[in-house]
Structure formats: structure tokens, C-alpha cells
Amino acid sequence: MDWKNQLTKTPYVVLFIVLIAVGAGTSSTLITITLTGDVAIEGDLDMTNFEKEKQGYALNLIAPDGLQLIPEAQAQAIDCSSSKVNCKEVILTAQVKTVLLPTGDPIELMSFDGQYPAPTIRVTEGDIVQITIVNDGPKIHSIDHHGAQLSAVPNFGPVLPGQEQTYTFVAANPGVFVYHCEANNVFGLDEHALQGMTGMLIVDPKSGYESLTINAIVIDTVDSNFDTKRQKFNSKAKEFSLLYSEWYLTTELSGDRHVYDKSKMFNKDPTYSHVNGVPFGYLGTLLSVSPWNGDGIRLSDVIPPEILLDCAVEDTPLEEALCNDSDNDGNLENDPLIAVFTTPGVAGELFGPGSIGTHLDVNKGDHVRFFVLNVGDRQVPWHIVGEQIDRVAIGDNIMAEGIQTWNVAPYSDAIFDVVFEQPGVYAIVNHDYSSLFRGHASIMVVHDPDMDPASCGEDVLCIVIAGEAKNNPSNTLPPLSDLRNTSIDQTETECTWGIGAETPNAFTTECAPI
């Protein structure tokens, strides 16, 4: 066959795949080749000659079952409005606003849709994802998707103020991926990403998640000795999404807000560490009990006073609750009373009727799946105080089982599966102490539905764990999977909480501390 007369040459080379089905007594393969033009060829191909002559041609191969194997770039031409394709359309608006953190610090927040974290996107392996970024801010922005496999130029290129850009990709690999702003051709990338322009993309494996098997503790009924047995849980789980990062902020106010401090970033010296944007935000239960709830206990009793930023509410009614000369230098720092975090409605005019400090809720025996993403500049050795991690996965790969800690590097991810067998209060921490005591800690309350809250009296632990799980911050709950037997709906436990949870570029809470 004269290939040069049959194939249309193109000025570019793309990746292509050859399917080989070896039948009895033959090494040739019947395939259909669709070219960039209108020519198609069917026939028995000598793969040796084909290998020699294919160079310089752009080919799309169609498998015998009709599944078209296309280069990633051709996803750009797909019409997502068609009902024939599994396509997720996402429009993200870039904004720059002043936002008051629940710690009392006004900061310059760069965001997508006025939220932090940016909206969590969830698709299934093989889905098409179409991303449009609309620049509604004064600065140049862009968007880099780690879940995509396509040329960064021009897809992740700069979008000028008032303009927008769209690109499309195939979610080819399962996992938890970050998307973030790349600023102006990566100039300013660190500032834009660390000031809030990051979000999570969950790509579920098309075959679903594997069932979970753990070592359960049992008692021998004959001699009362303890032992373990393998206990299996199906893949359906209560799911949480946790995004870890840091705020690197100027100590002094720049106008009415604190802005990005590049020197602190280079020195690995963050002002705060945070989970989903709020330092200490999911510590409500811990901060509500002694000694944390003592009179006069302030943030400076937890972290060094020299880290604290200048007070932004001096000479206002909030000064007494939020400000203090914690380092005795004659200047007021933002040093809030712990009671500000744990008293519902105490900052109602600013943040809503709930408590700034809250927690996560499940029941004993629940299979819990954590999607964890580190978008900061420091390591996150992820650990649950009082529990062990039953399984660690990265993408569709099982990495470990029954371990104490797993390190999540910057711009890396993990999926943690845990079964909390005993009711109680557990702390999810970054076991790097310098990060833990700057905000990387969260409380998971594991309830006992068999306990009657009315029977608790003044027993604080009983009050906390009795009855059904009932309180989960809205920004910890990812969208439900499209796959069956994957996500347990937690809508009934959801409470509004987070930056942009109700109003763009504002923190709102309707959650409880315990």
C-alpha cells in the first residue's frame, strides 16, 4: 500500500495509540485509521512497515468497539452542551477583595468565586472537563489544572482584567488534583496561589473505590483475651475534603488590610497555617473545654506573640475582644480571646449566628473517606490523635494500610480511609508542631447513637458524643460522586461555614462549637 498517497501530511505530530489484537496464526491487526482529513483506511497492516512510515502524520485510531482514542488536544473541539458526552462545565470568576478572617485579621484575598477554598470540582475518570476563567479583578490571572494533560501554553496563559478564557481536557487519571492561578505567565504565581486562588478536583476511578478491610479488635469469649479479625466495609463512605495551606501576611497593615509577605514565604515562616482557609477553625470542641475556655485565655497563649499581626480594629467596640499588647512593645496586636471562637453569635454582626470554632461529626463504625490536598509551601505529616489510618491511596493506587502518619508534600494529595470504632473526640493534626500550633489542627467528634443525651447530666464528654452526628461545616463536604455505592449523603448534618459559604468574600458561620 502506498502510504504517502493515502495519508494527508500535517505540520505537527501528536501522540497516538496502536491497538494490537493477536489472533490465532496471525500477527496483523484489522484497524480503522481516521486522518485529519476525510480519508480512512481499513486493512491488514504490516506493523513493521507501518512503524517506519507513520512519521509526520497525525492519526486518530478507532478501536474495533467504536471507542475513539483521541489526542488530549482534540477534547477542545467537543461540544459540552451535547447530551452524548460526559462533560463537566465549570465557570470560575477571579476576584481580589478584602476579607476579614475569623481571627480578626483583614487580608487581601485572591479567589475564584469569592470562596476559599475555591469550589470543589468532582468528576469521574474519563469525563471531559471544560474550564472557563472569567477575570473580574484588577490583576492578571490564569488557571492551571494539575488534573489536565495538555500544553500549558497557551491554555494556562494570562487572562487580562475583563477578559475570559476556556479550555477543555479529559480527566484521564483518578485522584485528588489541585487547580490554581498561575498569575501572569508564573510571575506572581506564589502570591496568587498562597493568597487564595487554589481549589480541589476529585476524579473518581470509573470502577469505583475498593472496599475497605481493617483489623478490628475482638474479645475471645472463652478466655477474655483480645485479638483482631479482618472486617470488611463496602466502598460507600462519609466523605470530607480538607485543603491545607498557609497565610504569609505582612505584620503591618497596608491600607486597611494585610497583604502577601514574600519574604516570610521564602523563610518558610507563615503567619498562620490553615485548613480550608481558617486557622484553628475546626477546633471548636477542644477550645470549648478547660483549660482553653478559661477567663482571659487568648491566641497568644497558643502561638508566639511575635507572630501576631497588628490590630486592625483599634478604637472600635471589638478592640477589647480582639486586640492586646501581647508582646509588651507598646503596640496592639490582633490577639483574640479564645471565647470569641467558641461562643455562638459573639461576632454575629460580622460572621453570623454560629460559632467561629466548630468541628466535624461522624458516628462510631462509619467508614470515613478524607480527600486531602496540600497546596501550601510546607510538609503536612497527616495524623489522627487516637486513631490509625486504615488505608492510604494516591489516585487509584493503594499505598499503605494500618499506619500512624502519612506525609503529604506540597502540591501533593492523599485519600485516607478510616473507620472510627470507638466514640470520642479525635484530633486531626499536622504533626509538624510549628504548623500544628499555627492552625493545622481539626477536631473529629465520633458520636454514639445509642447514648441518650438526656442521660449525660454535666458529663461534658457524654454531652459531646451522645446521639447522632449532627454538625458538619459546609466547606468540608465535597460534591457527591456520580458513581453508585461511593458517597454517603451528609446533607442533614451540614451547617453553613467558611469563606464564601453564604456571601462571596465573607466568612459566615451557622455551626456549633460542640
DSSP per residue, 42-78: EEEE-HHHHHHH-TTB-EEEE-TTS-EE--GGGGGG-
Contact call for residues 486 and 204 (beta carbons, < 8 A): yes
What sign results for the dihedral spanned by CA atoms 472, 473, 476, 478? positive
Average pLDDT value over all residues in the chain: 86
> What's the rounded mean pLDDT across residues 293-310?
91
* pLDDT given for residue 48 in this prediction: 40
| N-to-C CA span, the chain | 76
% of the chain residues with pLDDT over 70: 84
Residue 279 has pLDDT above 70, yes or no: yes
Quick one: pLDDT band at residue 466, thresholds 50, 70, 90?
A: very high
pTM for the predicted model, two decimal places:
0.85
> What's the rounded mean pLDDT across residues 326-345?
91
Contact call for residues 60 and 69 (beta carbons, < 8 A): yes
Kind of pairing between the strands at 29-35 and 412-419: unpaired
C-alpha cell at 70: 483521541
Residue 497 has pLDDT above 70, yes or no: yes
* pLDDT given for residue 36 in this prediction: 37
pLDDT, tens only, 217-274: 888 777 778 888 899 999 999 999 999 999 999 999 999 999 999 999 999 999 999 9
Quick one: pLDDT band at residue 487, thresholds 50, 70, 90?
A: very high
Residue 428 has pLDDT above 90, yes or no: yes
pLDDT, tens only, 192-206: 999 999 999 999 999
Which contacts of 318-327 are long-range, i.e. CB under 8 A and separated by 24 or more positions? 318/104, 321/346, 322/104, 323/104, 324/298, 324/300, 326/298, 326/300, 327/300
> What's the rounded mean pLDDT across residues 75-100?
85
CATH placement of domain 77-204? 2.60.40.420
Enumerate the domain spans of the chain.
Answer: 3-70, 77-204, 239-243+357-509, 245-271+294-344
> What's the rounded mean pLDDT across residues 351-368?
95
% of the chain residues with pLDDT over 90: 71
DSSP per residue, 130-159: EEEEEE-SSS-B--EETT--S-HHHHT--B
Contact call for residues 277 and 110 (beta carbons, < 8 A): no
Across 45-54, 93-102, 196-205, least confident range: 45-54
Contact call for residues 237 and 270 (beta carbons, < 8 A): no
Which contacts of 230-236 are long-range, i.e. CB under 8 A and separated by 24 or more positions? 233/367, 233/419, 234/367, 234/485, 235/208, 235/209, 235/210, 235/211, 235/485, 235/486, 236/367, 236/485, 236/486, 236/487, 236/488
- d(Cα 6, Cα 24) in Å, to the nearest integer? 29
Phi, psi angle pair for 485, to nearest 5°: 55, 40
* pLDDT given for residue 173 in this prediction: 96
DSSP 295: T
Angle at CA 183, nearest 5°, toward 181 and 189? 80
* pLDDT given for residue 30 in this prediction: 33
- d(Cα 435, Cα 126) in Å, to the nearest integer? 37
Quick one: pLDDT band at residue 483, thresholds 50, 70, 90?
A: very high
Contact call for residues 229 and 215 (beta carbons, < 8 A): yes
Contact call for residues 223 and 195 (beta carbons, < 8 A): no
Same fold yes or no, 77-204 and 239-243+357-509: yes
User: Which residue from 486, 451, 481 is spatially nearest to 202, judged by alpha carbons?
Assistant: 481
User: Which residue from 54, 67, 78, 71 is spatially nearest to 14, judged by alpha carbons?
Assistant: 71
Decide: helix, strand or coil at residue 361: strand
User: Which residue from 206, 237, 285, 211 is spatially nearest to 445, judged by alpha carbons?
Assistant: 285
SS3 content of the chain, % helix, strand, coil (to 5): 15, 40, 45
* pLDDT given for residue 76 in this prediction: 66
Report the C-alpha dihedral over residues 280, 284, 289, 295, rounded to 10 degrees.
70
Across 178-182, 272-276, 290-294, least confident range: 290-294
Quick one: pLDDT band at residue 64, thresholds 50, 70, 90?
A: very low
> What's the rounded mean pLDDT across residues 484-498?
96
Residue 366 has pLDDT above 50, yes or no: yes
Contact call for residues 286 and 508 (beta carbons, < 8 A): no
- d(Cα 213, Cα 267) in Å, to the nearest integer? 43
pLDDT, tens only, 120-159: 999 999 999 999 999 998 999 999 999 999 888 888 999 9
Angle at CA 183, nearest 5°, toward 179 and 188? 115
Residue 72 has pLDDT above 90, yes or no: no
**One-letter amino acid identity for 194?**
L
User: Which residue from 415, 410, 399 is spatially nearest to 146, judged by alpha carbons?
Assistant: 410
> What's the rounded mean pLDDT across residues 26-36?
34
User: Which residue from 46, 95, 471 is spatially nearest to 288, judged by alpha carbons?
Assistant: 471
* pLDDT given for residue 314 in this prediction: 86
- d(Cα 101, Cα 273) in Å, to the nearest integer? 13
CATH fold label, 239-243+357-509:
Immunoglobulin-like (2.60.40)
Report whether the peptide linkage leading into residue 344 is cis, meaning its omega lies within 30 degrees of zero. no
DSSP 184: B
pLDDT, tens only, 389-406: 999 999 999 999 999 999
> What's the rounded mean pLDDT across residues 364-383?
97
Higher-pLDDT residue of 365, 68:
365
